[in-house]
């Protein structure tokens, strides 16, 4: 059996945990009620795009919708004292909160001392915006064994730079697995195939947007059927548009 015709599992058959990434409360509620994901993440950029104006009010509403699955909420101060304060505030909102800490601030100063401090105090962390193996090593070295934590490596952005993220993610997984309670997250996927790539590597978690999650329903679809659907789409759109090709055009 060649790779093109291999049997593709559905998302429900995968071992990897799928987290929904977004800030639309209706989409979050729908994903939670349908039990199609294992957790949720958001960030200030997604919240701004969704029109959120009050961070804490939004966070509380999100946690009402999702009372029992991991929810990652991100700090947004650029100084570490401010990050520390925001981390404690977010951590106090609910026991299922993971506090997202960027791997550095905008001055390229490492957040690892703060990560070490927060992890030592028992705060569940999601360390975000990681792109290099050295950052993975530094972050994992700052985590406390036994305290749940997520190491978010932006595989999609690595691919955007022209680099294959799979070898890096494989090494990142080996490093992350050295700390009990730490999980590797494949962040910023660009296409549904990334879900299967992360699954095959053994990554613990992948974040997906609602749009990518919807596309993953095509897993395992007959390629001939998919081809016919595409032809029908082209034909239907041409008819609706009223296009004509005349001899004298």
Q: What's the Rg (C-alpha) of the chain?
A: 21
Q: Is 129 helix (H, G, I), strand (E, B) or coil?
A: strand
Residue 61 · residue 25 · CB < 8 Å: yes
Number of CB atoms found within 10 A of residue 10's CB:
10
Q: What is the dihedral sign for C-alpha 230, 233, 239, 242? A: negative
Which residue from 64, 31, 68, 61 is spatially nearest to 47, judged by alpha carbons? Answer: 61
Query: What are the Cα distances from residue 9, in Å, to 6, 160, 169, 188, 220?
Result: 10, 27, 21, 21, 7
- Would you say how long the chain is, in residues? 249
Please give the Cα distance from 67 to 93 (Å, whole number): 11
Active site residues: 100
């Amino acid at each position: 059996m060649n790779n093109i015709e291999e049997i593709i599992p559905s998302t429900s058959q995968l071992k990897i945990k799928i987290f929904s990434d977004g800030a639309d409360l209706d989409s979050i509620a729908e994903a939670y009620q349908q039990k199609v994901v294992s957790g949720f993440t958001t960030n200030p950029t997604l919240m701004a795009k969704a029109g959120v104006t009050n961070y804490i009010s939004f966070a509380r509403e999100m946690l009402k919708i999702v009372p029992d699955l991991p929810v990652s909420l991100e700090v947004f101060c650029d100084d570490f004292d401010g990050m520390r304060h925001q981390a404690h505030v977010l951590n106090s909102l609910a026991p299922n909160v993971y506090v997202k800490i960027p791997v550095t601030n905008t001055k390229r100063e490492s957040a690892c001392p703060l990560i070490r401090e927060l992890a030592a105090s028992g705060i569940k962390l999601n360390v975000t915006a990681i792109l290099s193996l050295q950052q993975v090593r530094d972050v994992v070295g700052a985590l406390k064994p036994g305290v749940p934590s997520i190491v978010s490596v932006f595989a999609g952005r690595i691919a955007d730079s022209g680099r294959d993220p799979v070898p890096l993610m494989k090494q990142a997984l080996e490093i992350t697995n050295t700390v009990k309670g730490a999980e590797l997250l494949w962040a910023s996927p660009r296409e549904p195939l990334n879900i299967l790539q992360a699954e095959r590597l053994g990554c613990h978690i992948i974040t997906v947007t609602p749009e990518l999650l919807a596309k993953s329903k095509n897993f395992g679809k007959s390629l001939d059927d998919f081809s016919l659907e595409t032809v029908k789409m082209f034909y239907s759109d041409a008819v609706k548009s009223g296009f004509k090709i005349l001899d004298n055009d």
